[in-house]
Structure 1
């Protein structure tokens, strides 16, 4: 099987974004290891980063609300033997704040880290397996997934095989 390094998806609306998030988490769930998965979510305010995260978290069975961690920096979910950490670093004023919250402890085995505004934590965050770029396309969205290593390539390959 040839590994893919890039994947593009057109997303028509919020429901399609949630469905895509569910497809993405199912691909991640098929990985045959318990290594951490790190995903950087890039896009303008309101582009759909949190909506994609909501789809992923609900795709593992979470029934409650999935709120943006804009003020708390991180929201935790423990589902299907996975620890999902959803970060939003938009309000981070200094990357050193991540050191104080023990950022390195979040990247352990059986973890999935979804990081919005990762550029604000450069130097302290784990390197991503996958970068997700979300762009406005009129009233819809265009998503590009770019693998950053072999695990990212495997995720894209599994997603493309859906």
Structure 2
């Protein structure tokens, strides 16, 4: 597993990192985003989704579990599994249907869906570091490694 670590000094730097990550994304792709509450997972997702071409707001899917974004030739599904008490709940929403050959899936709190989610291609872990944030990006597949190579 290959990884890189970068400092994110503020919200704008987090959005900018999402824009940089987005440059290498092509479906099918599964991205796990982990970190404490408020660490910047949704902010990073906003940078990714807007950089891919979405012009509107990017809302946190905390209550809906998933927010879909349609693009020309592919879809992005932004999941927030924080409120999932039992991974079995995901089966009822048809979780497996979202992970297909034309989708990029961003999954916040993937540990809440353990056993129901496919393996991640790339893992973005955000953590607090003093008054800033730090992101660790880990490649977990050949697709993830290609993205990481572009980021270095």
TM-score, normalized by length of structure 1? 0.90
Two-structure CA RMSD over aligned residues (Å): 1.2
Deviations along 1:30-77, one digit per CA (max 9) or x if unpaired, are xxxx4x110110000000000000000000121111010000000000
- The residue aligned with 2:149 is 157
| The one of 13, 16, 21 aligned to 1:19 | 16
Give the structure 2 partner of residue 132 of structure 1. 124
Aligned counterparts of 1:54 and 1:8: Cα–Cα separation in 2: 20
List per-residue Cα deviations over 1:60-111 (Å, max 9, x = no partner): 1211110100000000001242210000000011111100111110111121
Runs of 4+ in 1 over 6 A off after TM superposition: none
2:90 to 93, 98, 107: 98
Aligned equivalents of 2:64, 2:15: Cα separation in 1: 23
1:117: how far off?
0.6
Residue 59 of structure 1 pairs with residue 51 of structure 2? yes
**Aligned-residue offset at 1:149:** 1.5
Distance 1:93 1:55, change over 3 A: same
Per the normalisation by structure 2, the TM-score is: 0.96
- Paired residue for 1:9? 6
2:41 pairs, out of 33, 49, 60, with: 49
